[in-house]
Structure 1
């Protein structure tokens, strides 16, 4: 009987210790969003819960324009887009950080003005830079997607990696 009482007491103490711990494990670096202090958005892009996107038509010459913005209330301004990488939808921040002067989309930084900076290119220029990315334009509602990532530098030299933005290419 003593043996059962001892095991019950020991089990109760272990259970009590397990419930008395703080839930700090829920809020450490592995379980929190990694959001920048200054959010970066794309003015003309659309999103439905995924990556923002724009449409571009090859019949219209394939223009691609992204207007990168930060809130005026942030107290910061955009110094430049330091680096851009493009490719298929599998690109990620590692692709951006390992990009060299020859593999990055932009040869030189693109200067910002205030809280905006505009990046403009074409599908033809994209094809020339990344010939291995397949671009097969089809009629809506189907499309082919291209992707871009931007490294934005603010006036205080804070660098922000944007989320992946996409271009939906249609015929």
Structure 2
């Protein structure tokens, strides 16, 4: 019995000391070498960057994405745009079917702008966007982007949500 406990303890010690990470923390996050930020941020809701639009203002949805200039990279294009109902469904932008937008959107140095409308959102998703009186809402889908850099590296930033005012 004691021999089995000793063997188990030795295996646990060998496993823990064999880790290549200096720190072991369940809260640690992996950050990309080139971070992507939303420059026209309306707010952060549940850790998700959010942009805004309004029905009375025409319903244009604009999402401005940028990378730091000091990283030495530029944005070649937004290669794919997808939508999903959850903020953790990154695989939706890694496939070639069912995408929101398949045409590449050219980057401009360290930034790129994606533009769509509530009418286009409704036609592509079948989800009608309404707000009456002073009502406001969030679109029920998150926008995901596959960004290609000038060196061919591809980034998938956190999804972006859209706040709709009346």
Q: Which bracket does the TM-score occupy, shorter chain normalised?
A: 0.7 to 0.9
Summarize deviations over 1:106-133 as a string: whole Å, max 9, x none. 24101111100111111111111211x3
Residue number in structure 2 paired with 1:117: 112
Which one has the bigger helix percentage? 1
3-state DSSP class of the match of 2:77? Answer: strand
2:82 is aligned to: 85
**Structure 2 counterpart SS, 1:106:** coil
Note if 1:39 corresponds to 2:35: yes
TM-score of the aligned structures, taking structure 2 as reference length: 0.78
* Closer, same or farther: CA 125–92 of 1 in aligned 2, 3 Å: same
User: Which residues in structure 2 correspond to 1:67-106 (within 5 Å)?
Assistant: 67-89=64-86, 92-100=89-97, 103-106=98-101
- State the TM-score, normalized to the length of structure 1: 0.76
* Compared CA separation, residues 38 and 138, structure 1 to 2 (3 A): farther
* Match of residue 58 from structure 1: 55
5+ long unaligned stretches in structure 1: 1-6
Count how many residue pairs are aligned between Structure 1 and Structure 2: 159
Unaligned runs of 5+ in 2: none
Aligned-CA RMSD value: 3.0
